[in-house]
Structure 1
């Protein structure tokens, strides 16, 4: 299937590993020149991307600088994938509402919502000129907040609404905006014992390996397995392509059947 995107350009945020790296690799395989933005530039990202930007995307200056450097590197932007999210596992409290201070709320919203606001605002003139597309990476936690760090689900729910607003405004001008909402994904966020998954395992008093093995049953994944980053990347690539030319303002869930209601 010819996706019609060879020769296009894209920015992918949070591209150093996991879902962001998989998206970068999938787009590059289709002939897209990708500018990968991440706090840490990994060798895998260097290999897949046409250019990279090392940046803190949780700041307004960082998020907007990415766009300027990307335009300098590839000449203009057709696609934007706002993937960066979650947060520093060491800084995220797994406590309840009364256990979390304003600093966590601000940090989580800056990374998971405002990064997309700032990057989109900066990239939009170029995307409008090229009649491109935007995909925002959200989460099923936007619909089922239980179990996520305080602030995360709320930020992702706001990101979904931002996508809807942008789609309503930009669709008549030839720009498509959609959202992808993964469930559990076998990315380093969960698979790294020193990452968020390891912190959750410690909180529940189980081994990290047992936590990962029990996720499908514990959370009712109908497929019996978690999603891979490559599966999320394939969905994003399709949504950016000409094959998805009349898909606007939709939230596409990829969660192995975790959500039981539409």
Structure 2
């Protein structure tokens, strides 16, 4: 199916690995010109290099960074059609999961909201004028099933993602008449660096459960989270849905939330 994306311009945050890398690769394959934002590049991102890819090294914890990325997209590629707010999860230097409400302090809460909500607010604020100048666009915000299924684990993260979901609905209501569609993806556990890196979620849960990291990813986590598919989500599976939401093929889809979560959310 032709997604009708060729020649469009996208900004993808958190683009150097995991979901962001898969999204960047997928959009490039569809003929999109992509501005990839991340604190640093990776060999995998560099391997995608070409005339249609621009990497902008930024720390999205910097309030000026989201606007700078959008400005580079407009300056280098002439405008902006797609914004994928993928960067999120543990702020730089933080490992999740964290257990219990009393564990994160004020600084932890501020950092979590800065990375998972305020950086999105700033990116959208910068992107909307550029999209309106092109007659519309698509914004995809990567959220979490934890926003709808709160638990005494990662309380600050889940609260930030719940705020992101609310923001998405409000943006959709205001800007859909002007041609800007805004949607969310509610993810379950995805096989990314958050889980797989040393000291990441798999290691933390392994220490709690008295097992090893591979067992956590292959069986313990799927069982603990009651994943219907019995496995973690793959980044490409998320990227495919994002590409469809970015496409004019989804012209009547806005204010919607898509669960790409291996069956994590059971509620109707």
Q: How many residues matched?
A: 262
Kindly indicate whether residue 74 of structure 2 is the aligned counterpart of residue 68 of structure 1.
no
Provide the TM-score with structure 2 as the length reference: 0.93
SS, match of residue 10 in structure 2? strand
Kindly indicate whether residue 236 of structure 2 is the aligned counterpart of residue 230 of structure 1.
yes
Query: Match of 2:245?
Result: 239
Kindly indicate whether residue 250 of structure 2 is the aligned counterpart of residue 248 of structure 1.
no
Query: Match of 1:115?
Result: 119
Kindly indicate whether residue 29 of structure 2 is the aligned counterpart of residue 26 of structure 1.
no
8 Å CA contact 2:91, 2:111 repeated in 1: no
8 Å CA contact 1:80, 1:134 repeated in 2: yes
Provide the TM-score with structure 1 as the length reference: 0.95
Alignment of 1:66-145 (within 5 A): 66-88=69-91, 90-92=93-95, 94-130=98-134, 131-145=136-150
1:128–1:246 distance in 2 versus 1, CA, 3 Å? same
SS, match of residue 91 in structure 1? coil
Gaps of 5+ in 2: none
**Per-residue CA distance 1:181-211 (angstroms, 9 max, x = gap):** 1101111211223323323322443311121
Match of 1:180 among 178, 182, 185: 185
**Per-residue CA distance 1:90-131 (angstroms, 9 max, x = gap):** 434724222221000000000000010001101111112221
RMSD of the TM alignment (CA)?
A: 1.6
Question: 151-160 or 39-48: which moved more?
Answer: 39-48
Gaps of 5+ in 1: none
SS, match of residue 110 in structure 2? helix
**Per-residue CA distance 1:29-77 (angstroms, 9 max, x = gap):** 0000100000121122233351011111122112221111222221111
Distance 1:220 1:176 in 2: 32
Aligned-residue offset at 1:147: 5.6
Higher helix share: 1
Query: Match of 1:164?
Result: 169
Distance 2:25 2:85 in 1: 15
